[in-house]
Chain A
Amino acid sequence: MVNPGKRMNILKTLLNLRHGPGAAILPPEISRLHMDFALRWNDGHMGPRKFWKTCLPRLKFWNPAVPMIINRSSNNAGPATLSIYFRQAAAAAPTPTGSAAAKVNHITPLAQQPHSSTINECPAPPPAEGERVVTIEMKHQHSDAILQEFLQKTGATVLRPSPDEENEMRQAEDLKERAAIDRSIMKKYIDDKRAEERLLARAREEAEAIRLANQ
């Protein structure tokens, strides 16, 4: 735990967790998401990986009730798919908060539900009764393209930051820029100091050599 001042600067970037690509509210009929791709990025698995790292946290933040499972395997030749599970309108009356999804999931104990895995433990489950699956092929695709297709297929509403938040984001950005400048100044200072020390050391060595030669 670092000191609060430092930590608060880091927490400012919480805005990054709220706003940016992927900040969208999913319609209530979406019951869960499942991603299936490889651990390493070769063979076109970079897009899905980036989508997970950049967009999925924001999606999860705005839709905390929707389970988002990521099943990764060491098989790079395998497919990279994103499955979106739609609840059929008839099966469950869509509630505004999506707590129906939670209810459905609480029927089976948590330990037996599919969970994220790095060893291919939980491949995409077949759709349950009254569910419909839409898949997105993610292989060899850029994460932006994946996001666009995802938003289009789910019909999610994209969130925009409020003016206040935009302002704060700009401040955080400024802080980052200033940090970069400060860092370069500091680096120059340290480098100069080291160069000088090196010069001095060499001069001293030479003096020593001359002294030894004279003796």
Chain B
Amino acid sequence: MNDQEIMSQEKMELDLEIPSSLVQSDGHLRRSNSAPMINGLSDSSQVFQRENLRSRRNSTTVVNRPNVIPSSPIRVPSTRLYQIKQEEGVDVMNRETAHEREVQTAMQMSQSWEESLSLSDNDLEKSSSSSPKRIDFVPVSPAPSPTRGMLKKQCFSPSLQILVSSNGLTPSPIPSPTRRLQTVRRSQSPINCIRPSILGPLKRKGEMETESPPKRLFQGTTTMLSTEVSHLPELGSCSLSSDLLDGSLSSVGSSSGSPAKMDGVSPSPSGSPFTPLQDRSPK
């Protein structure tokens, strides 16, 4: 770090003055964005740079790539006051858009973080961590009805230390609470349940697109439909379902998506984040 950066950092810590870039017009302080420039989402580059350097200096991380800082690119202040004002202030459409954007960037974050992990740390299990699909974002079930099962008694046997059915005769399959219980997954927005579109920048009418890196892989494939069909079985073995693949391929054929976009994509760029997928496929 050069002297100027050190000075500016100290200024941030010591001065009570708030840099103008951080103050919104209504006088409320906006949280500075300490995210790395992933996909160019950081919106306050001057502040970011300072913080990025600071965090690198303090870093005790074992991740080899110093660029990867696991913080959300869009930093919402954690005060309830701010959150409430946001929720009340914008109309539903904008809120949903903002929510989608947050989810989408979080997914990108998780994917890029995992990619960096699998590249640099061989100890990690490939099976779960190299999957482009985060467990968190797999919908387990749609939101259950509030009355489902909740009016039933739940019975526990202290001597057996398991849940039992209410007639006390047959134990239920739910495991003991003293062992770690099955992770309860939060229900997801129905929009989240739609897997990331594999068509990339092509916008389908009336649908929210979630952009994610694996799309580019498929884009690469579709430009070579005739010559590299052999890739298809490999992709089918990935965690992304082949249904989606088929469906999207057919709609690529039928839609009038501009060929220019397709041509512009290079197939399987070297050093791409998709390397783990391809490595895994023929096993």
Whether A and B are associated in the same complex: the answer reads no
On B, residues with C-beta under 8 Å from A are none
On A, residues with C-beta under 8 Å from B are none
